[in-house]
Amino acid sequence: MATVTYDKATRIYPGTERPAVDKLDILIEDGEFLVLVGPSGCGKSTSLRMLAGLEDIDEGKIWVGDRDVTNIQPKDRDIAMVFQSYALYPHMSVADNMGFALKIAGVPKAAIRERVEAAAKILDLTEYLERRPRALSGGQRQRVAMGRAIVRQPQVFLMDEPLSNLDAKLRVQTRTQIAALQRRLGTTTVYVTHDQVEALTMGDRIAVLKDGILQQVGPPRELYDSPVNVFVAGFIGSPAMNIGTYKVDAGSALVGRARVPLSRDTLAGLREEDRNAVVLGFRPESLDRAAPNADGAIPIEVDAVEELGSDAYVYGTVPAEAGASKEIHFSSGDAQMIARIDPRDVPRKGETVWVTIRKGEQHAFSSATGARLDKK
């Protein structure tokens, strides 16, 4: 067991100017499950491979425990890439399938047996140890494959999008299994995914990357409740946060006809470059249905309703004449607005609903830099 430290670790691919990973600083605690997440090209996979030893570290260092592994070959790092290759050999017993790689490493027979049995116990495979893989179900075979990594007793497990090839149902199942297994083993794990739902459900902490730069690292709740910038705000959460740029007038943001009071931190943080505008974000669940004439009510023309049983979401547009946010940027949906509503009172397509932002549940960011202005 060990901590992992990225110490200003940088990777610059030959022939490129911009680093693929730029001065990455993360301290991963012993036994922690850290998820690296971000859109494609953000540097998450490269970061993982730098730890694995597959990518050179051009500047900075990486430590496993108190050992500097920056210039150490992959196999000598005491790290296991899980799911890299998981062929099962049909004529070998489950026990041999799990333990044969230890023979290469020169581990004595008795010790191999011991480790295989311990792993089998954790994986619920004890009674199958003497069987051939053919006699196992698909899920059990997958666990045998995991067993191959576990018996090596590495300091760190690395997983690079291990679920991307599975269908949706198996993905959810395996996601839960991996998370539970990691907690039982207590081995430090770094996990890469592009799927923020996977990140939120699995990680002890999540590190969000964009353009090779670490945006924020913290527990799922922290990223959800206090994103440090517009990018993290928009990336974490499903459905995504509503984000728009609004004029500031007398201490409030003008959202349509509504005046959303801004916090003291926010107002103090506004600079000249912000040109008297602020980026506001509010999650779909921070909106309440209101009467059309309610104070600060925002009209939404319903484009679609997504009913999930326990919840329902309205996807709609804010009519321009209502003074909607102009030049909304940072947000993918332009003037689209998503609101969570009572699933027992669902409007029809084409109707207009009015919502108000629940007090204090907005997130304010600088319109110039995208950085968070209000403290939480």
Partner 1 sequence: MPLTFKGAADPGLIALPWYLPLGQWPKETIAALPRGISRHVVRFARLDDKVLAIKETNPRIAKQEFELLRKLGKLGAPCVVPLAVVTGRQDALGAPLEAALVTAHLQFSLPYRALFSQSLRAETVTRFVDALAVLLVRLHLIGFFWGDVSLSNALFRRDAAEFTAYLVDAETGELHETLTSGQRNHDLDLARTNIVGEMFDLEAQEHLHESVDPLAVADRLVARYGELWHALTETETFTSNIPLHIADRVKALNNLGFDIGELDMREAEDGKAIVIRPKVVDAGHHARRLMRLTGLDVQENQARRLLNDLDEYRVIVAPPGEEESYAAHQWLTTVFEATVRAVPRQFRAKLEPAQIFHEVLDHRWFLAEAAGHDVPMAVAVASYIKNILPERPDEKAVLGLTLAEMSAERTAEMTADLPALTEEVLTREIPEFDGDNTGAWGRDDGYGDSDDDDDAPVQLVRKTTKREGPNRTPPSATTDAS
Query: Which CB atom, from 96 or from 222, has the smaller least distance to partner 1?
Result: 96
ω before 239 within 30° of 0 (cis)? Answer: yes
Which positions ≥6 away from 257 have C-beta within 8 Å?
296, 297, 298, 322, 323
Q: Is 112 in a helix, a strand, or coil?
A: helix
303: left (phi over 0), alpha (psi -120 to 50) or beta: alpha
What length does the chain have? 376
Q: How far is the CB of 140 from partner 1 (least distance, A)?
A: 9
Positive or negative torsion for Cα 64, 66, 70, 75: negative
Q: Provide the minimum distance between the beta carbon of 62 and partner 1 in the complex, in angstroms, as a whole number.
A: 12
CB of 20 or CB of 253, closer to partner 1: 20
| Torsion angle in degrees (nearest 10) through CA of 105, 111, 117, 120 | -20
- Judged by DSSP in three states, 186 sits in coil
Q: Which residues of the shown chain bind partner 1 in the complex (CB under 8 A)?
A: 13-15, 52-56, 73-75, 84-92, 96, 100-101, 103-104, 133-134, 137-138, 141-142, 144-145, 164-166
Question: Whole-number minimum distance, CB 129 to partner 1, in Å?
Answer: 15
Looking at the Cβ atoms of 138 and 292, the one nearer to partner 1 is 138
Whichever of 91 and 348 has its CB closer to partner 1, that residue is: 91
Q: How far is CA 226 from CA 223, 234, 293, in A?
A: 5, 12, 31
Nearest to 152 by CA among 109, 108, 119: 119
By beta-carbon proximity to partner 1, the closer residue of 14 and 350 is 14
Q: Select 134 or 221, whichever has its Cβ closest to partner 1.
A: 134
Spatial distance between the Cα atoms of 232 and 38, rounded to a whole number of angstroms: 9
* Alpha carbons 103 and 83: distance in angstroms, whole number: 20
Closer by beta carbon to partner 1, 56 or else 211: 56
Distance in Å, CB of 77 to partner 1, minimum: 9
CB of 257 to partner 1, least distance (A): 45
In the complex, the smallest distance separating the C-beta of residue 90 from partner 1, rounded to whole angstroms, is: 6
Smallest gap, in angstroms, from Cβ of residue 166 to partner 1?
8
